[in-house]
Amino acid sequence: MWKLILANPSTSLKSWLFIKIWWIKNKKNVKLMYIRKAFTLIELLVVIVIIGVLATLAIVALSSARGKARDVRRLSDLKQISTALELYMADENVYPMLITPGQPMVGLTSGKTYMSKVPTNPGGSSNVQANNPYSYFSNGSKYTLRTYTENGVNDLPAGGKIVASSVGVKMAENTDSIIWDTDLTFGGTLVGHYALDGNTGTRDLAGNSTVSAITASGGVSTTTGRFGEAEGAYSFNGTTGYVYSVNPSEINLTNITASVWFYPYTMQEDFAGLFFALSGHSSRNRVLLTGSKLYTQFVYSSAGQSNVYTTNSVNFNQWNYMAYVFDGTTEKIYLNGVITTTTKIDTLVGDGTALTIGRGSSSIYFFNGLMSDARVYRKALSPDEITQLYNATKP
């Protein structure tokens, strides 16, 4: 400003005074324009917030992209395993009874390697179901292979189910949708499925986060399963061995089906528990083996307690299949796929006691033998469904 005045000596006094007055009024702002070189605290905070929001959006987008990539891999893994299983079937005329993630798939008789390494679930998800190992089941003539999505893939939303079988790979809109009959969920009513083997152990293969896994006590070990596969069953020592649910609230049901494959070593002189506290009760609601018969005790609302023996006998030192079914008014007991007893009762009474397998009371009635493939459904399976389940899982 002063340079302009000095460069023009003819500037009038009026102009000089105008400039002088302007300077007096604005010199503070002019000085600040030249003096200030740093951001204010508020400006810094605004910038930090903006950077944080952008970083969060970037992390979320990256996490979602990684989840979708893992879902694509899960789908690809099941397709690869399914292809290898069909090649196995073509050569061996049977599907393998057991496949182990991370281990090779080798022909039982040919010794041919169909997969050098069975894929493992990539994991990395906050979704417990999506992180579970791929679930494989086979009875030799057919198989199912299952996993769950993390973020969704191919129009399948998060939590959707991918199932491979001898009829191909299919997907369901949600975890309660049935894929096809060999999936054996019967409309998504399977709420607890425990293989009781050395591969998946007591993990809930139904993927139910409420029921979660069950826990094995001492006195339980793995042994050869009903298909002859290594570590394919749990062995109960008859004195201390049992398994129990961590959170049984999902299976305190008014309609229920419970089934298990069991291999009793010898005739039980007292009682031996297969299931205890079905639909939750601290002293009853159990299926026992006594002598060569199955025996049930269930507490219900109108008449107290049912005490029912089966008419058919179990086979010792052999695999047997037991299913208990209650539809709200009638209980049925199946042995090896055949109805042995039908009894009219009333609504079951429970108190939230944890489901136990291999023991018939809170501290006694231990089972001595082998068990495998325990299942609990929140529905009363029909006779046709019991037959299907029996035929699909029998050795």
pLDDT of residue 256: 86
* Residues 357-366: tens digit of each pLDDT: 888 887 888 8
265 and 317 Cβ atoms separated by less than 8 Å: yes
Residue 104 confidence (pLDDT) above 70 = yes
- Indicate if the pLDDT at residue 302 is higher than 60: no
Distances (CA, A) of 309 to 231, 272, 290, 312: 32, 14, 9, 9
Q: What is the pLDDT of residue 389?
A: 87
Lowest-confidence pick of 119-123, 125-129, 245-249 = 245-249
304-309 and 243-245 beta bridge pairing: unpaired
Residue type, 308: V
When pLDDT is cut at 50, 70 and 90, the band that residue 282 belongs to is low
In the predicted model, what is the mean pLDDT of the chain? 75
- Indicate if the pLDDT at residue 263 is higher than 90: yes
Q: How confident is the model at residue 323 (pLDDT cuts 50, 70, 90)?
A: very high
Rounded Cα distance between 83 and 319, Å, is 31
Contacts 24+ apart (CB under 8 A), 294-297: 294/322, 294/333, 294/335, 294/340, 295/271, 296/324, 296/331, 296/333, 296/341
Residue 24 has a pLDDT of 64
CATH number for the segment(s) 184-395:
2.60.120.200
Check pLDDT > 50 for residue 177: no
Highest mean pLDDT among 140-154, 178-192, 362-376: 362-376
More confident residue, 359 or 263: 263
Is a pLDDT exceeding 80 seen at residue 162?
no
Quick one: average pLDDT of 175-203? Answer: 65
pLDDT band at 5 (very low <50, low <70, confident <90, very high): very low
Rounded to whole angstroms, the Cα distance separating 269 from 2 reads: 117
Residue ranges of domains in the chain: 38-182, 184-395
**Six-digit token string for 201:** 């152990």
Does the pLDDT at position 50 exceed 90?
no
The pLDDT confidence band at residue 262, using thresholds 50, 70 and 90, is very high
